[in-house]
Amino acid sequence: MAMLSFERKYRVRGGTLLGGDLFDFWIGPFYVGFFGVTTIFFAFLGTALILWGASQGPTWNLWQISIAPPDLKYGLGLAPLREGGLWQVITVCAIGAFGS
């Protein structure tokens, strides 16, 4: 894939949000950067937590796996993992992945 005329200006090291060369790299035609690394981190963590939550449940049938939200008695507080806390952590991972 040929490089476009304006890409030479932007494919230089440094000048990132955090400065320096931290997470300043490309994978093929895609720029990763700091927010790309945070997206990959949260996506893998959320997927791993979903698989772990599914392993704690009664079935491995993809159509019956359920990770339930916490009960209303917890309000906006953190619930124990087995009682809906896992759902809260997975939701934070989804917000982190989609938001960054």
**What is the C-alpha to C-alpha distance for residues 69 and 34, in angstroms, rounded to an integer?**
31
pLDDT of res. 27: 79
Output the CA torsion 35→41→43→44 (10° steps).
160
Tally of CA atoms within 13 A in the half-sphere of 15 that contains its CB: 5
Is the pTM here over 0.85, yes or no? no
Q: Mean pLDDT for each consecutive 10-residue tract of the chain (100 residues)?
A: 68 59 74 86 97 90 91 94 95 96
pLDDT of res. 17: 53
List the domains of the chain with CATH numbers.
22-99 (1.20.85.10)
pLDDT of res. 16: 52
pLDDT of res. 91: 97
> 75-100 b/e with 16+ CB inside 10 Å = b?
eeeebeeeebbbbbbbeebeebbeee
pLDDT of res. 19: 57
**What is the C-alpha to C-alpha distance for residues 83 and 98, in angstroms, rounded to an integer?**
25
